[in-house]
Amino acid sequence: MEKSDLLKRFCSRLVAIERRGVLTMDCYRLEIRRFLDFLEAENKNLDEADASLLSVYIAMRRTTDKIDSRSTAKAVSALRSFFRFAMDEGLTDDNPAVVLESPKRRVSLPEVMDKKTIEVLLDTVDTSNPVGCRDRCLFEMIYSAGLRVSEAAGLNIRDIDLEGGVAKVKGKGNKERLALFGPEAALRLRQYLEESRPKLAGKVSRNQPFMKNQALFIGRNGKRLSRKGIWKNYAKNAALAGTSSRLHTLRHSFATGLLEGGADLRTVQELLGHADLATTQIYTHVDVGVLRENHRRYLPRLNAPD
């Protein structure tokens, strides 16, 4: 089977049988393409790949490509999935990837920004033009609703309820949830939809009938704004605001702000779209300062000098 056909069939299985999301499928496809190139370089056929050879491949990825433990775990997962597919297709007799050890991921605390820094960042966006108005609205939505960049990019006009402050979001694994956004985000959305988006759409909207499922955030060409485009625009504005934070930091800051305000973990889990509560619990370790202040306020006797 040709490499391209093999990858197409593998990706079809990921979506149809393993129910993987598009982003996971893209990640696995790239990883397996690298692995197949590695086999060619080693003059090995797929059915000759054993656990020892896979270990060599993973070691090469870590030393040559400098991938971290998280990326290594993804590579191992991709190989396990691929060899399950290869067995079902009759291309191999077993799955050598099952013996590979997936490295333990280092639990790192998410980076967050305080409200003042976020305000400075948002105010840095030049809203005197349609692109700036779109970006201000976009970043406001990501922060206000705690969206992933892929979720924001995937929004359609029909997904937004301006009056109710609700957005229907498609998250990881194509799971849908309702995300809430505040009045400032609603105001920016209304301005964008009424003034800026029609200008960005240009001839596209004039030559085609209005459709409620149109992409919400678009570029000058009238097409849906890509994740890379969003990241690039954010990085530019973050640099102007004097911060090196990543776009995902807005989502982290959203979650941390909710917990600091007294929201329970289950509520935050639902709003973030986390499948596992353990994923949400990392935010409880972010702000030690808040814990110290509550400890001092509610247990003053323990803080009194001898």
Q: Are strands 176-180 and 160-161 parallel, antiparallel or unpaired?
A: unpaired
Candidate list 9, 62, 168, 172, residue with the active-site label: 172
143 is catalytic: no
- Is the separation of the CB atoms in 130 and 200 below 8 Å? yes
28 is catalytic: no
251 is catalytic: yes
Candidate list 13, 148, 170, 188, residue with the active-site label: 148
283 is catalytic: yes
Q: How many residues does this entry show for the chain?
A: 306
Q: What is the mean pLDDT of residues 257-265?
A: 84
The predicted structure's pLDDT at residue 303? 52
What is the torsional sign of CA 266, 271, 275, 279? negative
Q: Give 209's pLDDT tier (boundaries 50, 70, 90).
A: very low
The predicted structure's pLDDT at residue 295? 59
Instruction: For residue 166, count CB atoms less than 10 angstroms from its CB and return exposed for 0-12, middle for 13-18, buried for 19 or more.
Output: middle
- Is the separation of the CB atoms in 120 and 164 below 8 Å? no
pLDDT at 234 over 80: yes
Q: What is the mean pLDDT of residues 111-132?
A: 92
- Is the separation of the CB atoms in 126 and 236 below 8 Å? no
Report the 10 Å Cβ neighbour count for 244.
10
Candidate list 20, 170, 188, 274, residue with the active-site label: 274
248 is catalytic: yes
The predicted structure's pLDDT at residue 152? 95
Q: What is the mean pLDDT of residues 188-209?
A: 79
- Is the separation of the CB atoms in 220 and 131 below 8 Å? yes
Crossing angle of helices 22-41 and 69-88, rounded to 10°: 80
Q: What are phi and psi of 107, to 5 degrees?
A: -80, 105
306 Cβ contact partners less than 8 Å away, ≥ 6 residues apart: none
80 is catalytic: no
pLDDT at 207 over 50: no
Q: Give 296's pLDDT tier (boundaries 50, 70, 90).
A: low
75 Cβ contact partners less than 8 Å away, ≥ 6 residues apart: 31, 58, 61, 67
Amino acid letter, 237? N
